[in-house]
Structure 1
């Protein structure tokens, strides 16, 4: 049976993981937030980004990032999967402070851009993930990534070429597929600027 001292060490080690790896803490918050969405319907309404009332609810420029569609479980699964692979790498590369700035500022930047170009509510961390991928692609363009586990691609291809088909093309065609393609591209733009500014240092 574990002693109290051992239990204290477990608690300390657990919190130390979050203290030095904010990417994992943010991952946990997103997952926990999704559970709250499922349990408390009004939770989503409180935190969703709605261009119609964003001036009265400015906090939603941050909080929408921690929400995901409860109708499409692939939305959160894919976002969390990509996040857990690339966010810790970027945090290790640039440090926790700069990583947190990229995370929150890219979300705000994409949220503001979305409010200027759309009248529909938005949820999800996709724009932030685009920013993370793009920043990392600028700093480590030759990083080898295996798409679907077996297709070898360099990171710059994923960050800059795939969005042409997944986001730019649907926007040009005027597709109404319920995906915030414009917000994704705002995140990509922020990541490009962040990556170039960090690369010069």
Structure 2
């Protein structure tokens, strides 16, 4: 780690330390991911600071998640930091991570809107026809309003995302824009792929994975896309302002 740029190195260290703390405290009944992870904005557990803290948290039950994220930061982040410098790289990392969280909030809102409308319809006129699709209730049966509200709050509280993946996808996007023709090797693919095509491919995969809504898929695909989206517009803004034009290839 001696030759790793300062921001890249410290991002990896901070993420690993938070993951270790999450693993240790989980055994004592303290869930750091519930405290620092990003909750849905309509949940009582949401705090604005989570838009920053969530990107340093990872699933305590999954070592592969933090491993792959930090590997990507190490491989691609150090290159970008050497090109942009530590301050600009850190700013980019944080903006893409926060942007990813904002896009995830929008995705949650769109996904939850029919359910929240169904809850309102039930509380106003007792119509449980639509609500029965989302909650384990019998259509036509009248349930206490406080029970329905509690069920809604319980569902909203369970919606939480953690991980550096949004910022990591922002880093991948930046690498593809800085070095579009750089050859990259992907696991199980024996031939090199140009960075620009890899970035486009990842973006397409994440988009279709997000809209397909496969049962049991807990990956925040739209957060990944959000990191790429914010990264793209931030880089375009910098280029338009003439910031670092000499660093962009192709």
Please tell me whether residue 113 in structure 1 is matched to residue 103 in structure 2. yes
Corresponding residue SS for 2:193: strand
**22, 38, 48: which is aligned to 2:37?**
48
Unaligned runs of 5+ in 1: 1-13
Please tell me whether residue 137 in structure 1 is matched to residue 122 in structure 2. no
**Following the alignment from structure 1 to structure 2, what is the Cα–Cα distance between the partners of residues 115 and 70?**
22
Unaligned runs of 5+ in 2: 109-155, 243-250
Aligned pairs, number: 185
Please tell me whether residue 151 in structure 1 is matched to residue 140 in structure 2. no
Q: Which moved more, 1:103-112 or 1:189-198?
A: 189-198
Larger Rg: 2
TM-score normalised according to structure 2 size: 0.68
* Residue aligning to 2:73: 83
Q: How well do the aligned residues superpose, as a CA RMSD in angstroms?
A: 2.2
Post-superposition offset of 1:55:
8.4
Higher percent of residues as helix: 1
Corresponding residue SS for 1:69: coil
Q: Which moved more, 1:168-177 or 1:126-135?
A: 168-177
* Residue aligning to 1:11: none
Distance 1:162 1:182, change over 3 A: same
* Residue aligning to 1:5: none
Moved over 6 A (4+): none
TM-score normalised according to structure 1 size: 0.83
